[in-house]
Structure 1
Protein backbone atom coordinates (compact mmCIF):
# COMPACT_ATOMS: atom_id res chain seq x y z
CA UNK A 1 0.00 0.00 0.00
CA UNK A 2 1.06 3.56 -0.60
CA UNK A 3 0.43 6.49 1.71
CA UNK A 4 0.10 10.17 0.83
CA UNK A 5 2.68 12.09 2.81
CA UNK A 6 1.63 15.50 1.49
CA UNK A 7 -1.65 16.49 -0.11
CA UNK A 8 -2.76 19.75 -1.64
CA UNK A 9 -6.54 19.74 -1.73
CA UNK A 10 -8.10 21.64 -4.62
CA UNK A 11 -10.22 23.93 -2.43
CA UNK A 12 -7.22 24.81 -0.26
CA UNK A 13 -5.07 25.48 -3.32
CA UNK A 14 -7.68 27.82 -4.76
CA UNK A 15 -8.15 29.63 -1.44
CA UNK A 16 -4.39 30.31 -1.28
CA UNK A 17 -4.42 31.72 -4.80
CA UNK A 18 -7.53 33.82 -4.20
CA UNK A 19 -6.09 35.25 -1.00
CA UNK A 20 -2.86 36.17 -2.74
CA UNK A 21 -4.62 37.82 -5.70
CA UNK A 22 -6.85 39.75 -3.33
CA UNK A 23 -3.79 41.07 -1.48
CA UNK A 24 -2.13 42.27 -4.68
CA UNK A 25 -5.31 43.79 -6.10
CA UNK A 26 -6.13 45.67 -2.92
CA UNK A 27 -2.53 46.80 -2.43
CA UNK A 28 -2.61 48.36 -5.89
CA UNK A 29 -6.03 49.92 -5.34
CA UNK A 30 -5.64 51.18 -1.77
CA UNK A 31 -1.92 51.88 -1.47
CA UNK A 32 -0.03 52.22 -4.74
CA UNK A 33 -2.77 54.13 -6.55
CA UNK A 34 -2.25 57.02 -4.13
CA UNK A 35 0.96 57.83 -6.00
CA UNK A 36 -0.58 57.99 -9.48
CA UNK A 37 -0.64 61.81 -9.47
CA UNK A 38 2.68 62.71 -7.87
CA UNK A 39 3.36 65.60 -10.22
CA UNK A 40 -0.05 67.18 -9.65
CA UNK A 41 0.32 66.70 -5.89
CA UNK A 42 3.74 68.35 -5.97
CA UNK A 43 2.31 71.29 -7.95
CA UNK A 44 -0.43 71.67 -5.37
CA UNK A 45 2.12 71.64 -2.54
CA UNK A 46 4.00 74.47 -4.28
CA UNK A 47 0.80 76.46 -4.77
CA UNK A 48 -0.17 76.02 -1.13
CA UNK A 49 3.31 77.20 -0.09
CA UNK A 50 2.95 80.29 -2.29
CA UNK A 51 -0.48 81.04 -0.88
CA UNK A 52 0.74 80.72 2.69
CA UNK A 53 3.96 82.65 2.12
CA UNK A 54 2.24 85.27 -0.01
CA UNK A 55 0.63 86.71 3.10
CA UNK A 56 4.06 87.90 4.17
CA UNK A 57 5.14 89.20 0.76
CA UNK A 58 6.19 92.87 0.81
CA UNK A 59 6.98 94.21 -2.69
CA UNK A 60 9.16 96.90 -1.13
CA UNK A 61 11.39 94.37 0.60
CA UNK A 62 10.97 91.06 -1.24
CA UNK A 63 11.85 89.85 -4.70
CA UNK A 64 8.85 88.20 -6.33
CA UNK A 65 11.08 85.90 -8.36
CA UNK A 66 12.73 84.49 -5.26
CA UNK A 67 9.29 83.49 -3.92
CA UNK A 68 8.52 81.55 -7.09
CA UNK A 69 11.96 79.99 -7.02
CA UNK A 70 11.42 78.88 -3.43
CA UNK A 71 8.01 77.46 -4.40
CA UNK A 72 9.67 75.47 -7.16
CA UNK A 73 12.15 74.09 -4.61
CA UNK A 74 9.18 73.03 -2.50
CA UNK A 75 7.66 71.31 -5.52
CA UNK A 76 10.87 69.44 -6.33
CA UNK A 77 11.39 68.34 -2.74
CA UNK A 78 7.76 67.24 -2.35
CA UNK A 79 7.89 65.25 -5.59
CA UNK A 80 11.13 63.56 -4.53
CA UNK A 81 9.73 62.61 -1.13
CA UNK A 82 6.55 61.24 -2.70
CA UNK A 83 8.60 59.23 -5.19
CA UNK A 84 10.67 57.74 -2.37
CA UNK A 85 7.48 56.90 -0.48
CA UNK A 86 6.06 55.23 -3.56
CA UNK A 87 9.16 53.03 -3.94
CA UNK A 88 9.12 52.11 -0.25
CA UNK A 89 5.42 51.34 -0.36
CA UNK A 90 5.90 49.05 -3.35
CA UNK A 91 8.76 47.28 -1.58
CA UNK A 92 6.58 46.89 1.52
CA UNK A 93 3.89 45.29 -0.63
CA UNK A 94 6.45 42.89 -2.07
CA UNK A 95 7.76 42.04 1.40
CA UNK A 96 4.26 41.36 2.74
CA UNK A 97 3.44 39.24 -0.30
CA UNK A 98 6.58 37.12 0.04
CA UNK A 99 6.35 36.63 3.80
CA UNK A 100 2.72 35.51 3.54
CA UNK A 101 3.60 32.96 0.86
CA UNK A 102 6.57 31.73 2.90
CA UNK A 103 4.46 31.29 6.05
CA UNK A 104 1.68 29.54 4.16
CA UNK A 105 4.14 27.10 2.59
CA UNK A 106 5.84 26.29 5.90
CA UNK A 107 2.49 25.97 7.65
CA UNK A 108 1.17 23.55 5.02
CA UNK A 109 4.30 21.38 5.24
CA UNK A 110 4.16 21.30 9.04
CA UNK A 111 0.48 20.32 9.10
CA UNK A 112 0.95 17.58 6.52
CA UNK A 113 3.88 16.12 8.46
CA UNK A 114 1.74 15.88 11.58
CA UNK A 115 -0.77 13.70 9.68
CA UNK A 116 1.69 10.81 9.42
CA UNK A 117 4.51 11.49 11.86
CA UNK A 118 4.37 11.48 15.66
CA UNK A 119 6.41 14.17 17.39
CA UNK A 120 6.89 17.91 17.17
CA UNK A 121 10.52 18.30 16.14
CA UNK A 122 10.20 17.50 12.43
CA UNK A 123 7.16 19.74 11.98
CA UNK A 124 8.78 22.55 13.97
CA UNK A 125 11.79 22.36 11.64
CA UNK A 126 9.63 23.80 8.88
CA UNK A 127 9.66 27.09 10.77
CA UNK A 128 13.37 27.21 11.61
CA UNK A 129 15.19 26.06 8.47
CA UNK A 130 16.11 28.53 5.75
CA UNK A 131 14.57 29.03 2.34
CA UNK A 132 17.14 26.88 0.55
CA UNK A 133 16.51 23.97 2.92
CA UNK A 134 12.78 24.15 2.26
CA UNK A 135 13.50 24.02 -1.49
CA UNK A 136 15.86 21.10 -0.88
CA UNK A 137 13.11 19.18 0.93
CA UNK A 138 10.63 19.78 -1.89
CA UNK A 139 13.11 18.38 -4.39
CA UNK A 140 13.76 15.29 -2.27
CA UNK A 141 10.00 14.79 -2.27
CA UNK A 142 10.14 14.47 -6.06
CA UNK A 143 9.27 18.02 -7.09
CA UNK A 144 12.22 19.60 -9.01
CA UNK A 145 11.03 23.05 -8.06
CA UNK A 146 14.38 24.83 -8.27
CA UNK A 147 14.58 24.24 -12.02
CA UNK A 148 11.46 26.31 -12.69
CA UNK A 149 11.30 29.93 -13.80
CA UNK A 150 8.75 30.79 -11.13
CA UNK A 151 10.99 29.54 -8.35
CA UNK A 152 13.85 31.66 -9.67
CA UNK A 153 11.52 34.66 -9.38
CA UNK A 154 10.66 33.68 -5.82
CA UNK A 155 14.36 33.41 -5.02
CA UNK A 156 14.90 36.89 -6.46
CA UNK A 157 11.94 38.18 -4.46
CA UNK A 158 13.40 36.70 -1.26
CA UNK A 159 16.73 38.42 -1.84
CA UNK A 160 15.03 41.75 -2.63
CA UNK A 161 13.05 41.48 0.61
CA UNK A 162 16.20 40.66 2.59
CA UNK A 163 17.99 43.73 1.22
CA UNK A 164 14.94 45.87 1.93
CA UNK A 165 14.92 44.59 5.51
CA UNK A 166 18.64 44.49 6.32
CA UNK A 167 20.31 46.98 3.99
CA UNK A 168 24.00 46.30 3.49
CA UNK A 169 25.37 42.82 4.05
CA UNK A 170 25.48 39.39 2.45
CA UNK A 171 21.99 39.79 1.03
CA UNK A 172 23.04 42.88 -0.90
CA UNK A 173 26.12 41.09 -2.26
CA UNK A 174 23.94 38.15 -3.34
CA UNK A 175 21.49 40.46 -5.08
CA UNK A 176 24.30 42.20 -6.94
CA UNK A 177 25.73 38.94 -8.21
CA UNK A 178 22.47 37.14 -9.01
CA UNK A 179 19.81 39.73 -9.74
CA UNK A 180 21.39 43.17 -10.37
CA UNK A 181 18.27 44.31 -12.24
CA UNK A 182 16.74 45.20 -8.86
CA UNK A 183 19.56 47.67 -8.26
CA UNK A 184 19.04 49.81 -11.37
CA UNK A 185 21.60 52.22 -12.70
CA UNK A 186 20.87 55.64 -11.14
CA UNK A 187 22.64 57.37 -14.03
CA UNK A 188 22.24 56.95 -17.75
CA UNK A 189 25.13 56.82 -20.17
CA UNK A 190 28.66 55.42 -20.01
CA UNK A 191 31.69 56.89 -18.37
CA UNK A 192 30.20 57.75 -15.01
CA UNK A 193 31.87 56.11 -12.02
CA UNK A 194 28.69 55.88 -9.94
CA UNK A 195 26.96 53.89 -12.66
CA UNK A 196 29.18 50.90 -11.84
CA UNK A 197 27.35 48.15 -9.96
CA UNK A 198 29.99 48.02 -7.23
CA UNK A 199 29.00 51.50 -6.07
CA UNK A 200 25.32 50.69 -5.71
CA UNK A 201 23.89 49.78 -2.32
CA UNK A 202 20.55 49.17 -0.61
CA UNK A 203 19.47 52.75 -1.28
CA UNK A 204 19.30 51.89 -4.99
CA UNK A 205 16.93 48.98 -4.42
CA UNK A 206 13.87 49.33 -6.63
CA UNK A 207 11.03 47.13 -7.84
CA UNK A 208 8.94 48.28 -10.78
CA UNK A 209 5.25 47.59 -11.25
CA UNK A 210 6.12 44.96 -13.85
CA UNK A 211 8.57 43.26 -11.48
CA UNK A 212 5.98 43.26 -8.69
CA UNK A 213 3.56 41.58 -11.09
CA UNK A 214 6.22 39.00 -12.02
CA UNK A 215 6.69 38.15 -8.33
CA UNK A 216 2.93 37.83 -7.94
CA UNK A 217 2.68 35.57 -10.99
CA UNK A 218 5.45 33.39 -9.57
CA UNK A 219 3.53 32.82 -6.34
CA UNK A 220 0.39 31.87 -8.29
CA UNK A 221 2.41 29.49 -10.49
CA UNK A 222 4.00 27.93 -7.42
CA UNK A 223 0.64 27.12 -5.81
CA UNK A 224 -0.74 25.88 -9.11
CA UNK A 225 2.17 23.46 -9.47
CA UNK A 226 2.26 21.98 -5.97
CA UNK A 227 1.68 18.24 -6.56
CA UNK A 228 -1.80 17.14 -5.58
CA UNK A 229 -0.33 14.17 -3.70
CA UNK A 230 3.20 13.10 -2.78
CA UNK A 231 3.31 9.42 -1.83
CA UNK A 232 5.76 7.59 0.39
CA UNK A 233 6.80 5.39 -2.54
CA UNK A 234 8.08 8.49 -4.36
CA UNK A 235 10.48 9.43 -1.55
CA UNK A 236 13.72 7.46 -1.58
CA UNK A 237 15.59 9.66 0.88
CA UNK A 238 15.24 13.00 2.64
CA UNK A 239 17.67 15.84 3.46
CA UNK A 240 20.00 15.07 6.35
CA UNK A 241 18.53 17.84 8.53
CA UNK A 242 15.02 16.46 8.08
CA UNK A 243 16.11 12.89 8.65
CA UNK A 244 17.77 13.87 11.92
CA UNK A 245 14.59 15.60 13.09
CA UNK A 246 12.51 12.51 12.25
CA UNK A 247 14.92 10.24 14.12
CA UNK A 248 14.97 12.58 17.12
CA UNK A 249 11.17 12.43 17.33
CA UNK A 250 11.29 8.66 17.07
CA UNK A 251 13.94 8.41 19.78
CA UNK A 252 11.98 10.71 22.09
CA UNK A 253 8.83 8.67 21.56
CA UNK A 254 10.65 5.42 22.25
CA UNK A 255 12.21 6.91 25.37
CA UNK A 256 8.82 8.14 26.53
CA UNK A 257 7.34 4.70 26.01
CA UNK A 258 9.89 3.15 28.35
CA UNK A 259 8.91 5.39 31.25
Structure 2
Protein backbone atom coordinates (compact mmCIF):
# COMPACT_ATOMS: atom_id res chain seq x y z
CA UNK A 1 0.00 0.00 0.00
CA UNK A 2 2.83 2.43 0.77
CA UNK A 3 4.18 1.92 -2.73
CA UNK A 4 0.81 2.99 -4.16
CA UNK A 5 0.71 6.04 -1.87
CA UNK A 6 4.20 7.05 -2.97
CA UNK A 7 3.41 6.57 -6.66
CA UNK A 8 0.16 8.54 -6.29
CA UNK A 9 2.04 11.45 -4.73
CA UNK A 10 4.64 11.42 -7.49
CA UNK A 11 1.97 11.27 -10.21
CA UNK A 12 -0.08 14.10 -8.70
CA UNK A 13 3.05 16.28 -8.56
CA UNK A 14 4.51 15.06 -11.85
CA UNK A 15 7.50 17.00 -13.14
CA UNK A 16 7.83 18.74 -9.78
CA UNK A 17 10.19 17.76 -6.98
CA UNK A 18 8.62 16.60 -3.72
CA UNK A 19 10.72 17.08 -0.59
CA UNK A 20 11.84 13.89 1.12
CA UNK A 21 10.32 15.03 4.41
CA UNK A 22 6.92 15.49 2.73
CA UNK A 23 7.00 12.01 1.24
CA UNK A 24 7.97 10.51 4.60
CA UNK A 25 5.07 12.32 6.24
CA UNK A 26 2.67 10.99 3.61
CA UNK A 27 3.90 7.43 4.08
CA UNK A 28 4.14 7.29 7.87
CA UNK A 29 2.13 10.27 9.14
CA UNK A 30 3.51 11.43 12.48
CA UNK A 31 5.35 8.20 13.34
CA UNK A 32 8.09 7.56 10.78
CA UNK A 33 10.58 4.81 11.63
CA UNK A 34 14.24 5.64 12.12
CA UNK A 35 14.88 3.89 8.79
CA UNK A 36 12.30 6.01 6.93
CA UNK A 37 14.77 7.56 4.47
CA UNK A 38 16.27 4.18 3.64
CA UNK A 39 12.82 2.64 3.24
CA UNK A 40 11.81 5.51 0.96
CA UNK A 41 14.86 4.86 -1.21
CA UNK A 42 13.82 1.20 -1.48
CA UNK A 43 10.29 2.19 -2.55
CA UNK A 44 11.72 4.56 -5.16
CA UNK A 45 13.92 1.76 -6.48
CA UNK A 46 10.90 -0.56 -6.64
CA UNK A 47 8.93 1.99 -8.67
CA UNK A 48 11.81 2.29 -11.12
CA UNK A 49 11.86 -1.49 -11.49
CA UNK A 50 8.10 -1.54 -12.10
CA UNK A 51 8.47 1.08 -14.83
CA UNK A 52 11.23 -0.98 -16.39
CA UNK A 53 9.12 -4.16 -16.35
CA UNK A 54 6.28 -2.21 -17.96
CA UNK A 55 8.60 -1.20 -20.77
CA UNK A 56 8.39 2.49 -19.96
CA UNK A 57 11.41 4.32 -21.27
CA UNK A 58 12.94 7.17 -19.23
CA UNK A 59 11.48 9.54 -21.80
CA UNK A 60 7.98 8.41 -20.84
CA UNK A 61 8.27 8.01 -17.07
CA UNK A 62 11.24 8.09 -14.75
CA UNK A 63 11.72 8.79 -11.05
CA UNK A 64 14.79 10.95 -10.50
CA UNK A 65 16.54 12.29 -7.45
CA UNK A 66 15.85 16.00 -7.47
CA UNK A 67 16.80 18.07 -4.41
CA UNK A 68 15.14 18.48 -2.01
CA UNK A 69 13.64 15.04 -2.76
CA UNK A 70 12.34 13.08 -5.72
CA UNK A 71 10.51 13.89 -8.93
CA UNK A 72 8.56 11.84 -11.44
CA UNK A 73 9.60 12.97 -14.90
CA UNK A 74 6.76 12.04 -17.23
CA UNK A 75 5.67 12.72 -20.78
CA UNK A 76 2.43 14.62 -20.18
CA UNK A 77 0.98 13.17 -23.37
CA UNK A 78 1.00 9.79 -21.60
CA UNK A 79 -0.63 10.92 -18.33
CA UNK A 80 -4.43 11.12 -18.07
CA UNK A 81 -4.24 13.73 -15.31
CA UNK A 82 -2.18 16.08 -17.45
CA UNK A 83 -4.38 15.46 -20.50
CA UNK A 84 -7.52 16.18 -18.49
CA UNK A 85 -6.17 19.47 -17.13
CA UNK A 86 -4.96 20.49 -20.60
CA UNK A 87 -8.37 19.78 -22.17
CA UNK A 88 -10.06 21.71 -19.37
CA UNK A 89 -7.91 24.80 -19.99
CA UNK A 90 -8.31 24.57 -23.78
CA UNK A 91 -12.07 24.26 -23.38
CA UNK A 92 -12.20 27.42 -21.27
CA UNK A 93 -10.19 29.26 -23.91
CA UNK A 94 -12.46 27.98 -26.70
CA UNK A 95 -15.54 29.06 -24.80
CA UNK A 96 -14.11 32.53 -24.19
CA UNK A 97 -13.40 32.73 -27.93
CA UNK A 98 -17.04 31.90 -28.65
CA UNK A 99 -16.48 28.40 -30.04
CA UNK A 100 -18.80 26.55 -27.67
CA UNK A 101 -19.08 23.47 -29.89
CA UNK A 102 -15.32 22.90 -29.75
CA UNK A 103 -15.36 23.65 -26.03
CA UNK A 104 -18.02 20.97 -25.53
CA UNK A 105 -15.94 18.52 -27.57
CA UNK A 106 -12.84 19.20 -25.49
CA UNK A 107 -14.75 18.72 -22.24
CA UNK A 108 -16.15 15.43 -23.52
CA UNK A 109 -12.59 14.32 -24.25
CA UNK A 110 -11.51 15.37 -20.77
CA UNK A 111 -14.35 13.51 -19.06
CA UNK A 112 -13.73 10.33 -21.10
CA UNK A 113 -10.39 9.96 -19.29
CA UNK A 114 -12.08 9.26 -15.96
CA UNK A 115 -12.84 5.76 -14.65
CA UNK A 116 -14.18 6.66 -11.20
CA UNK A 117 -13.46 9.04 -8.29
CA UNK A 118 -9.90 10.31 -8.13
CA UNK A 119 -7.48 8.14 -6.14
CA UNK A 120 -10.32 5.80 -5.12
CA UNK A 121 -7.97 2.79 -5.06
CA UNK A 122 -5.37 4.45 -2.84
CA UNK A 123 -5.36 4.69 0.95
CA UNK A 124 -5.66 8.46 1.08
CA UNK A 125 -3.36 10.59 3.20
CA UNK A 126 -3.85 14.30 4.03
CA UNK A 127 -2.16 15.58 0.88
CA UNK A 128 -3.79 12.97 -1.34
CA UNK A 129 -7.20 13.69 0.18
CA UNK A 130 -6.82 17.36 -0.71
CA UNK A 131 -5.69 16.48 -4.23
CA UNK A 132 -8.53 14.00 -4.73
CA UNK A 133 -11.02 16.65 -3.60
CA UNK A 134 -9.53 19.17 -6.05
CA UNK A 135 -9.63 16.75 -8.95
CA UNK A 136 -13.16 15.52 -8.23
CA UNK A 137 -14.40 19.10 -8.00
CA UNK A 138 -12.69 19.93 -11.29
CA UNK A 139 -14.27 16.88 -12.89
CA UNK A 140 -17.71 17.92 -11.67
CA UNK A 141 -17.16 21.48 -12.89
CA UNK A 142 -16.14 20.13 -16.30
CA UNK A 143 -19.25 17.94 -16.39
CA UNK A 144 -21.52 20.85 -15.47
CA UNK A 145 -19.90 23.08 -18.06
CA UNK A 146 -20.15 20.48 -20.84
CA UNK A 147 -23.84 19.93 -20.18
CA UNK A 148 -24.48 23.65 -20.08
CA UNK A 149 -22.72 24.10 -23.41
CA UNK A 150 -24.74 21.22 -24.89
CA UNK A 151 -27.93 22.94 -23.76
CA UNK A 152 -26.74 26.09 -25.46
CA UNK A 153 -26.18 24.01 -28.61
CA UNK A 154 -29.74 22.66 -28.45
CA UNK A 155 -28.75 19.11 -27.53
CA UNK A 156 -31.63 18.75 -25.08
CA UNK A 157 -32.63 15.20 -25.97
CA UNK A 158 -29.04 13.96 -25.75
CA UNK A 159 -28.49 15.22 -22.18
CA UNK A 160 -31.79 14.22 -20.56
CA UNK A 161 -30.91 10.59 -19.77
CA UNK A 162 -27.44 11.63 -18.63
CA UNK A 163 -28.93 14.24 -16.31
CA UNK A 164 -31.42 11.80 -14.83
CA UNK A 165 -28.46 9.57 -13.90
CA UNK A 166 -26.54 12.53 -12.46
CA UNK A 167 -29.44 13.81 -10.36
CA UNK A 168 -29.92 10.28 -9.04
CA UNK A 169 -26.28 10.14 -7.94
CA UNK A 170 -26.27 13.74 -6.67
CA UNK A 171 -29.79 14.29 -5.26
CA UNK A 172 -28.97 17.69 -3.71
CA UNK A 173 -27.08 19.14 -6.67
CA UNK A 174 -29.07 22.18 -7.80
CA UNK A 175 -27.18 22.80 -11.03
CA UNK A 176 -27.80 19.31 -12.39
CA UNK A 177 -31.45 19.63 -11.35
CA UNK A 178 -31.71 22.99 -13.12
CA UNK A 179 -30.15 21.63 -16.32
CA UNK A 180 -32.53 18.67 -16.33
CA UNK A 181 -35.52 20.98 -15.80
CA UNK A 182 -34.39 23.19 -18.66
CA UNK A 183 -33.81 20.26 -21.03
CA UNK A 184 -37.22 18.74 -20.21
CA UNK A 185 -38.97 22.09 -20.54
CA UNK A 186 -37.37 22.75 -23.92
CA UNK A 187 -38.52 19.29 -25.06
CA UNK A 188 -42.12 20.14 -24.21
CA UNK A 189 -42.16 18.17 -20.95
CA UNK A 190 -42.91 20.81 -18.29
CA UNK A 191 -44.72 18.32 -16.05
CA UNK A 192 -41.58 16.19 -15.87
CA UNK A 193 -39.51 19.29 -15.17
CA UNK A 194 -41.80 20.23 -12.29
CA UNK A 195 -41.54 16.71 -10.90
CA UNK A 196 -37.74 17.02 -10.87
CA UNK A 197 -38.06 20.25 -8.91
CA UNK A 198 -40.52 18.67 -6.48
CA UNK A 199 -38.18 15.73 -5.81
CA UNK A 200 -35.24 18.02 -5.15
CA UNK A 201 -37.31 20.26 -2.88
CA UNK A 202 -38.49 17.27 -0.88
CA UNK A 203 -34.97 15.92 -0.49
CA UNK A 204 -33.57 19.28 0.59
CA UNK A 205 -36.31 20.00 3.10
CA UNK A 206 -36.73 16.53 4.57
CA UNK A 207 -33.07 15.58 4.81
CA UNK A 208 -31.19 18.89 5.09
CA UNK A 209 -33.83 21.36 6.27
CA UNK A 210 -33.11 23.65 3.31
CA UNK A 211 -35.05 25.26 0.47
CA UNK A 212 -33.88 25.45 -3.15
CA UNK A 213 -31.83 28.50 -4.07
CA UNK A 214 -33.41 31.69 -5.39
CA UNK A 215 -32.39 31.08 -9.01
CA UNK A 216 -33.78 27.55 -9.01
CA UNK A 217 -37.04 28.87 -7.57
CA UNK A 218 -37.13 31.41 -10.39
CA UNK A 219 -36.59 28.64 -12.93
CA UNK A 220 -39.48 26.76 -11.31
CA UNK A 221 -41.74 29.78 -11.82
CA UNK A 222 -40.75 30.08 -15.49
CA UNK A 223 -41.61 26.42 -16.05
CA UNK A 224 -44.92 26.82 -14.21
CA UNK A 225 -45.81 29.74 -16.49
CA UNK A 226 -44.75 27.71 -19.56
CA UNK A 227 -42.39 30.54 -20.50
CA UNK A 228 -39.76 29.92 -23.20
CA UNK A 229 -36.32 29.95 -21.56
CA UNK A 230 -33.06 31.30 -22.93
CA UNK A 231 -29.93 30.15 -21.14
CA UNK A 232 -26.58 31.91 -21.09
CA UNK A 233 -23.21 30.51 -20.09
CA UNK A 234 -24.54 30.14 -16.55
CA UNK A 235 -28.04 28.84 -15.85
CA UNK A 236 -28.39 31.63 -13.29
CA UNK A 237 -28.44 34.07 -16.23
CA UNK A 238 -31.50 32.37 -17.73
CA UNK A 239 -34.18 34.63 -19.14
CA UNK A 240 -37.75 34.31 -20.29
CA UNK A 241 -37.86 34.90 -24.04
Q: Would you call these one fold, judging by a TM-score over 0.5?
A: no
- Between Structure 1 and Structure 2, the one with more helix by share is 1
- Between Structure 1 and Structure 2, the one with more strand by share is 2
Higher RCO (CA-CA < 8 Å; seq separation 6+): 1
TM-score by length of 1: 0.28
Q: Which has the larger radius of gyration?
A: 1
TM-score by length of 2: 0.30
